[in-house]
Chain A
Amino acid sequence: MLSVAMLTWEYPPRIVGGISRHCMGLSRALARAGVDVHVITLEFPGAKGYEEVDGVKVYRVRVEIGNPNFLTWVFIFNHFMEKQVGMLLQSGCSFDIIHVHDWLTTPAGIALKHIMDRRLVLTMHSTEIGRSTTLDNPDAYTKDSIEWWGTYEASAVIAVSSSLRWEIINHFKVPEWKVYALPNGIDLDRFKVNIDRNSVRMKWGIPLDAPLIVALGRLTSQKGFQHLIPAFAKILHKYPNARLIIIGDGWMRGELESIAWSLGVRDKVIFTGFIGDREVVEILKSGDVMVIPSVYEPFGITALEGMAAGIPVVVSSVGGLREIVEHEKDGVWVYPANPDSIAWGIDRVLSDPGFANYIRRNAFNKVASKYSWDSIARETIKIYRRVLGEGV
């Protein structure tokens, strides 16, 4: 049986970004396909130190020492992850593959590769050069260097979209044959819930007849909500009763609230903060249009979530979003960082219910056929077999 040690800094219920859901979806699908999957991740309040869920063994490492400096802390938790894998080896486990996600667990992955003489696979969900656009400080330069180091040491690099694959090949000068594009997947069962649209709206203080615009994601500048709120202010000229609900939280929340205040629309923008998975699905299913206004998005898992929930999606024409959504067929493209264009996209959906239904149906059919975790796990296993020299 193929055995994998998967290292990730986030795994549910520790959900910072897309990596967490990716690792859970992939590891469960790998387990269904007969792979022995051990996930090594970081502790989180209320979560068990060890548990086996749906065939996946999850170890949440306690990091007993820290340091105020972020990079130092990252290297410390990598050490504790290595220690956890060491303990598993001592207890009789063996691994064929070390699979790490992003630069955050790359140092431990590289060390384990050499200590255990095993193959390393690296999945990249984004790059520092993409996130920060310039490597203008020492920390960014170090992260970029660790990313390069990971692409050098790994036997295979998996990028979550074709655009990210080319970014990796070009920026890190990695041979094309070594880098694969494999998308994120989606668990459709999460969205198979019946909801009462009216009671959801009442719960959040949204008028029953208000056009409801939904946005979802970490409140960081990369996600582009600072451009969505001015677009929403423009939309209110045509739809004065509209509401914007922003699901999620992050360091930028105060700034976003200030933008809403300064534009005089704060009373029509709802910030939910962190909410449970069920509530996220309820809101998505109660909305009229979902906007993903990212300025940088290597994949865009929230687009899949909207498409699976059956809400029409309007996305920035960047990175992975351009690959997931086909303009005017299963969603609408808008220019990134452009409130006029974003407002146009929202109106394109709100003003034409027939079109909204058309893209909603196409989108659902696409996610159901193209983005299942089981098919992504099958492709991942092919990559594992290839790097093990087994051929496929």
Chain B
Amino acid sequence: MNHPNEITVLTTLNNIGAIRPEKAISFSNLLASLRVREDVLRSIVEKLVNQNYIEAVDKNGEKYYYLTSKGILIALSTYS
């Protein structure tokens, strides 16, 4: 998978359980999970943060990401 869309990122975060700050996943782990080019994922993540679908927390100088309630509902809409 070389070009995941925004929905893939949202559903991945949902399915791995990254739906609250303490379960947030680091950018590097998300990158490894999706197996995509770093610049592609970075631009998607930035867009999703701006749209308030995901939020970032800082842990030891690295950004970790989790879904907001709005992001959860968007992710689940693909399955319903």
Contacts and interface: CB of A to CB of B under 8 A. Distances in A.
Interface in A1-28: 10, 13-17, 19
A251 B74 contact: yes
A69 B18 CA distance: 14
A60 to B, nearest CB: 12
A249 B15 contact: no
- Chain A at the B interface: mostly helix, strand, loop or mixed? loop
- Chain B at the A interface: mostly helix, strand, loop or mixed? helix
Contacts of A43: 19
Contacts of A63: 17
Interface string B18-43: 11100000000000010000000000
A14 B77 CA distance: 11
Given A44-B69, A46-B69, A274-B70, A251 B15 contact: no
Contacts of A45: 19-20, 68-69, 72
Contact of A249 (B14, B20, B68, B77): B77
A274 B73 contact: yes
A72 B69 CA distance: 22
Contacts of A218: 77, 80
Interface in B1-60: 7, 11-12, 14-20, 33
A330 to B, nearest CB: 27
Interface residues of A, number: 29
B70 A249 contact: yes
A13 B68 CA distance: 13
A10 B77 contact: no
A72 B12 CA distance: 12
A10 B14 CA distance: 14
A251 B19 CA distance: 18
B74 A249 contact: yes
Nearest to B17: A66
A46 B20 CA distance: 10
Nearest to B16: A66
B15 A17 contact: no
A73 B79 CA distance: 12
The 3 closest A-B pairs by CB, nearest first: A66-B17, A250-B77, A66-B16
28 contacts: A13-B69, A14-B72, A16-B73, A16-B76, A16-B79, A16-B80, A17-B80, A19-B80, A43-B19, A45-B69, A46-B69, A64-B17, A66-B15, A66-B16, A67-B16, A68-B16, A69-B15, A70-B15, A73-B14, A73-B15, A218-B77, A220-B78, A250-B77, A250-B78, A251-B7, A251-B78, A273-B70, A274-B70
Given A68-B15, A218-B77, A220-B78, 14 more contacts: A10-B76, A14-B72, A17-B77, A17-B80, A43-B19, A45-B19, A64-B17, A66-B15, A66-B16, A68-B16, A73-B15, A249-B73, A250-B77, A251-B7
